[in-house]
Amino acid sequence: MKFSWKSLNYLIDLKDITLEDLANQLILAGFEVENISYISEINDQILDIDITANRQDISSVVGLAKEISCILNKPIDIKPKISNKTLSTKQNQKYLSEICGESASIMDIAIQNITDIHITKSPQWLINYLISYDIKPSNIIDDIINYINIKWGQDIEILDLEKITEEPFNIQYLTLKKDINKKNRNKLTTKTKYEAIQYYNQTISINGIYTETDCKYKATNSSLTILSTICNPKYIKDRITENTQKAEKHLKHISRDDFISGYQEAVELISKFTNSTANTKYSYHRIQTNNVININKNLIYNILGPLNKETQTYLSIRKIIDILKKLKFQPIYYNNNFQVIIPSYRYHDIQRPIDVIEEIGRIYGFSKFKDQLPIMNKKGYIKNSTKQIYKIRETLRDLGLHEVINYSLNEKKHSSQVALYNPLLKEQAYLRNNLINNLINIKDNNIKQKNICFEGFEIGKVFYKQENNVFIEKKNIAGIIGNPNFARRSWSNQIQELTWFQAKGNIEKLFRGIQANVGWKSNNSKEYKTLDSNTINIYKNQRCALLYNKLTQEEIGVFGETKSIINTKLNSDHKIYIFELDLNALLRTIKYTNPIIHRIREYSLYPSITRDTSIKLKKEKNIDCIKEIILQNNYKLIESIEIFNEYEKITNKKEKYISLRITYRALSRTLEEKDIKEIDNQINNLIKIHTQE
């Protein structure tokens, strides 16, 4: 939006700052200044600012002047000079209060008649003002209304008084088919009623959306009605299909604080430049509840941090209060807490404590705070379930499966699917209730591209609706496998496709990798909790297995071979296997154990001694007991025990001979002769004992 440098100087004293410096200040405060231009015809500079959606309050000259006053800490003079005070009796107020008190749309309204109008030429200052905003002057009435719209951002309309008298104005509920003009019906939704201002049975205006052209003022008339309204943006948004100029203005949250000032200046200017008489004014202003936000002092310090100084000082309490006062937030400080009341023109973008803190930093200047991230002493924690999902992905990729990601939106294929209220496309009007269908479509596309060996898996959320209209959201894992060129026994044999047992082995390898305690059972029941009936019909009955938790008997999912009709649809001549599992149920089958404690021991730098011996044992006796006895007696010196031979005599089949190679080594010294003799004696005693048994 464009702003005139002269129009800003009318409201705030900017003589000691250039337009370029002001533009830099606005940029530092978070505004996007697009361009600065000069109009030689009126000797004025133009500041072009891109107004963001959350700062529509500055889309008027007064709104920007308030912001500049806060940033530069300069006083502002925006009160209009009113010389002709119009009457507004209690009876008038009561009349509009009765009409508008129950209205869902009107928040503020003012109506006033002006008579004995004498049309004159617009003054030069007004013409120059409009030229600076690229508006071509026309007549004094329209020029004043355009001026008020630019300066105050208010919705003020001029109606033909010859068609409208002061009473009885009324607000009625209209239906789309019966009461609204045909040419305007396409702008409105068909599911609700609309509030309109009427005079008897004549509709003057659909509140906040449009005004009937037949009721608008014509420059040849000598009397008019000034109508100004502020409507609830939510009310308008729910009732339009396409924006009108009037609706766009109200959707930008017109400032209620400036409603009276803007309206009074419009009446004053029209009365002054047309030598007319302003009659009784009707007005209504709905009481608005205060938006109160409480902020702890420490929260401000934690988010903004210290000032950019070596002393590590923080923003003082007095300075914070001064900034909040500049913002018109009415601060109260008590017991380390700030209580602020948000002005109505900032209701739509200041709703949380963090919003207020951002305003404090913006006005004071973010560049004045220390731009250093805090040091985090604690490391992040990854849950066991997340680690297992990483492991599942790694295992499936090791098996040759590609991970795919699909949209959660698709067409309706089952009554249990969850419908969207406002879908972008008919093909994306429902949330998916399984992952298998998308995987089959991907397999189909790959086969069409001659990639017949494609195998993939997906981990994602599914949604479905139970019979009692309870919506369920959970995370599943699904996969599709099948390869015509899986293996061959020898080069002379033909290539074989993936069989049922090989596919089942791949799934079991996944379970072993994550230590899942999963059982398999045949398809003896049609009662599946994991999949809907349409999806379960994809599997062959005799080649379908139900997977369950061995400990709790909880159903996990289904694995099986697809029916021939699916293969025909995919134009596939090899067998295809698919599975879909409830991921959380699968993770519940994992029994988490304590990790292995690794003990580190240094290598010995001293030489070893090796002894080979043969022990005679009965045929049914196990050598493990001999190894245990040896380790118990000489555990400090024994490094390893290796069995390198076993034999038996032809004449005696009841006995066997085990050859052992025992390696001895000390960690801190070289073995001496007495150690070797002691070792030999122990080995000989063992041989005698076990030979006699």
Shared-domain flag, residues 213 and 350: no
The reply to whether 176 and 230 lie within a common domain is: yes
Whether residue 412 is found in the same domain as residue 537: yes
Domain end point (choices 285, 306, 331): 285
Assigned domain for 128 exists: yes
> Nearest 5°: phi and psi at 662?
-105, 125
d(CA 131, CA 56): 23
Of the candidates 329, 350, 327, 352, which has an alpha carbon nearest to the alpha carbon of residue 340?
Answer: 329
Please state whether the peptide bond connecting residue 374 to the residue before it is cis, i.e. omega within 30 degrees of 0: no
- Spatial separation of the C-alpha atoms in residues 477 and 586, rounded to whole Å: 9
Q: Which long-range contacts (CB under 8 A, 24 or more apart) does 632-635 make?
A: 633/682, 634/664, 634/679, 634/682
Contact between 324 and 353 (Cβ < 8 Å): no
Cβ 225 vs Cβ 112: under 8 Å: yes
555/547 Cα distance (integer angstroms):
6
pTM, two decimals, is 0.56
Residue 685, domain CATH: 3.30.70.380
Distances (CA, A) of 658 to 19, 439, 618, 647: 100, 58, 10, 7
**Residue 548, φ and ψ in degrees, nearest 5:** -145, 165
Q: Is residue 180 part of a domain?
A: yes
Residue 640 burial (10 A CB sphere; 0-12, 13-18, 19+)? exposed
The answer to whether residues 141 and 121 touch, using CB atoms and an 8 Å cutoff, is: no
Is residue 71 a contact partner of residue 363, using CB atoms and an 8 Å limit?
A: yes
Segments of the chain scoring below 50 in pLDDT: 176-178
Residues 138 and 65 occupy one common structural domain: no
Tokens 């409201």 correspond to 11
- Looking at 552, 587, 622, the residue that finishes a domain is 587
Name, in order, each residue with C-beta under 8 angstroms of 126's C-beta and a sequence gap of 6 or more.
137, 143, 144, 147
User: Are residues 551 and 520 located together in one domain of the fold?
Assistant: yes
Same domain, yes or no: 95 and 68: no
- Same domain, yes or no, for 390 and 495? yes
Question: How would you classify the pairing of strands 471-481 and 638-647?
Answer: unpaired
Q: Could you tell me if 301 and 394 lie in one domain?
A: no
3-state secondary structure 530-571: CCCHHHHCCEEEEEEEEEEECCCCCEEEEEEEECHHHHHHHC
Q: Does 82 map to a domain? A: no
**Enclosing domain of residue 671:** 609-692
Q: Is residue 341 part of a domain?
A: yes
Q: Residue 597 domain-assigned?
A: no
Give CA–CA dist 513/507, Å, rounded: 10
Question: What does the angle CA 57 – CA 254 – CA 262 come to, to the nearest 5 degrees?
Answer: 100
Asked if 134 and 222 sit in the same domain, the reply is: yes
Q: Quote the pLDDT of residue 681.
A: 80
- Across the strands, what pairs with 49? 33
User: Which residue, 19, 42, 72, sits at the end of a domain?
Assistant: 72
Q: How many domains does the chain have?
A: 5
Q: Are residues 514 and 618 in the same domain?
A: no
Residue 379 inside a domain? The answer is no
Q: Which of 195, 117, 110, 221 has the alpha carbon at shortest distance from 155?
A: 110
Q: What pLDDT is attached to residue 376?
A: 72
